[in-house]
Chains A and B, each alone.
Chain A
Amino acid sequence: MLNAVLAGFVLAFAAPQVARHLPRQAGTIAALLPAGIFVWLLNQAEMALGPGVVERWPWSPLPGVTLSFHLDGLSLLMALIISGVGALILIYAGAYMQGQAQAGRLYALLLAFMASMLGLVLADNLIALFIFWELTSITSFLLIGWHYQEERSRAAALQALIVTGGGGLALLAGLVLIGLVSGTWEIAGLAAQAGTLQDSGLYLPILLLLWLGAASKSAQFPFHFWLPGAMVAPTPVSAYLHSATMVKAGVYLLARLSPALGGTQEWSLLFMVTGLVTLLLGGWLSLKQDDMKRMLAYSTVSSLGLLVTLLGLGTKLAAEAAALYLLAHALFKGALFMVAGAIDHASGTRDLRRLRGLAGALPTGALAAGLAGLSMAGIPLLAGFAAKEFIYEAALFSGGSVWLLTLLLLAGNVAFVVVAQQMTLRIFSGASLRFEHFHAPGVGLWAGPLVLGALGLALGLLPEVTATLAGAAARAIYGAPVTIHLFVLPDSVTPMLLLSALTIVAGILLYRRRTKLEPWLNWLDQGARLGPENAFRRLVGGLPRFAERVTDMQQNGRLRSYVMWVVGAWLLLLALTWLLRGGPGVPSDLLARLADLRFHELVLVVVILAGLASVMQANTLLTLIVSLGVVGFGTAIVFILFGAPDLAMTQFSIETLGVILFVLVLYRLPGMVRLSPRRTVLRDSVVTGLAGAVVTLMILVITDVPLVSPLKTWFADASEPLGHGHNVVNVILVDFRGFDTMGEITVLGIAAIGIFALLKLRPGRGGESKAGDGEGRT
């Protein structure tokens, strides 16, 4: 299975090359891979339906990470859809993109997406699943933004990425929690841990995180809005990612985890409510759309809601219904999308109001759409019919508020019937319209929808095959053996059959009177569609502005404010530490220690302090430099007094040199003005005064205890015998710690280079202007 997944990624890189050399056949060639995978899957079917196929690759010692795959009924069903529809889509894309320069990139992205999606449904490891999950988000992002020249596309792509990406991160947290709580990272092993998981205090957080992930990916309310937005993508993409496969990922995840996490009240409540709201909202909003693709998108949202509802319900019947519907939906919705794309391709419009009577011009299209539409409406003999029967059955035997549930499901299903009619009767029947540039699409555009439509019929006529396939999937969802009994036509009148009939009749009536619904729908539209979407837009639009305000406030360009932050943070941390963890203690005998001060030392101290005061008051350069000099020389004298002649010498010479430099460099600068208002001065004085006091206190505390320095005596003893020198300081500098000195002279050397360059290399001088302006050079 790893090979199948990897092949997709690898061939994705080859696709643009193929497209360059064989532009006409590239799509079909690319389709060979998914077709091959499809065949291989069929080959594996027997094993998959039985014990399942497991593949494990040791990959990484990171906790929880392995690369393991598991092919069971559910993943087989999904993988068949992914590869089968994938092959048809690539052929379709080949025709759709005919003659377009960047077609190769599209094939590449589609293949990469297919591989990610396959990985997602085959993965048996929580982290591996997440990896593929995110990959589908990324490829989807690139595909939605296909028409990147248009602002609309870019916005939609970003929107989809943020919504699904954000959900994905929540999901990651959820998955990690599952792994940590259950102690197992393999999905197959999770069901055995269901008790541990559900009794854990973290169950609810896990569920909510999962909900965020699944609902955002599968376009559930309130995250549904990204999906209709994603319709800016080319139609092959919409048909593949945004109806048949990627949007099912959330549903798949719930199905996959329901044996481990499902079956509780919280689970049912959360997902049934979400699902039902989405079902109704999507369904009814689909009635309002004039754009074929948007209508189908809303209808897809609705179908996903239906699936989530069923998974939330969690009964055996619901699992069966979900599996059946999953299959049927992929077939008819994929077909309808492709039909919509083909019509768009042929006529240049997707506007339902401008399309009528196409049956004459596009008989094949009418056939494909008809098959798919019938399945969607749930007409007997087609796959959709059986699915609908099971949905109603699941509702009727759900226990709890049966009638409410049934009624809501009915309301949702009616909308499907209306959409099915829009996609068939409305556009194909009636007098034909004339289009200016009408050109009938070729076989490449019809093969896909036709095959999918026909499959819908075939599955309806071959109940055993459908039952086996869906039954195995249902078993994985339900977590216990399941056998589905299917039939071509019901042999007795059941409540479910009546409900089906009712749905169809209501749908037809509603279709005829759909204009009457307008005001209702508008209300719904404004409340629900614009609500969350607007909130999102405001959030995403407002975020940069908010961020800008916050950032500009901090990063205001004023150095003194930065310094203040540093000093403030430092004092705050110290204050907190001392308050909460105990201070450094109070030094003892301060007076006694002060008493040993001699007179000349006192004078020195006073001179230094006076110099400091003068520095702070200075408002001409000369005063400043002279006062600094006083402080510096004062320091040097301290060094002399306390046994450090070397230091004093260096300090004196550096000080002298420093003063010279100061004068040399700065004498051209104007005098300083007092810029700060009194309040700032006061504030700064208090803050810096505190800082100074802290340092003083620390020195006193530390010097309170005698120091036994092993270094001092060792150096004193070693200097002459080992270092051959009498001046211990110098021996330390050039020998014991010569490495430091080497660093020190390096600093000096580099400083010289830097100064030299600063003074000599200037923008706008001679041929050096390239280095100029803020944009700089690469």
Chain B
Amino acid sequence: MIELTLQFLSFMASALLILIGIAGMLFLDNLIKKIIAFTLLSDGVNLALVSLGYFEGGVVAILTPGTSVAEFPQNAVLIFGPGIVLTNIVIGVSTTAVLVALTMVLYKRYGTLKASKVLKGERK
């Protein structure tokens, strides 16, 4: 039997977010909604990476006044995931900006936000 810890629940939430993101990016017709689904997908991946390093009773991996030097390395959470996630968030922001800009250009040319109409190629 799997224990319902916070780590397990976060993993499940991130799996759900990844599923929702993929489904939204594939099956929704609106371009803006596809972009929102993309941000949800990247949120899910970030959550999975962060919850990788967590364990019960850990401490934040930043030295604060009064920390015990000897116990800190054993108690601190794994710092590898957050280090990657910070980069991931940045890349998510710039990718979203480019996607929205391209969507605005598509709207200008086709007069619609529906991906199916854009794919048919009817100019406005």
Chain A bound to chain B: no
- Residues of A whose CB lies within 8 Å of any CB of B are none
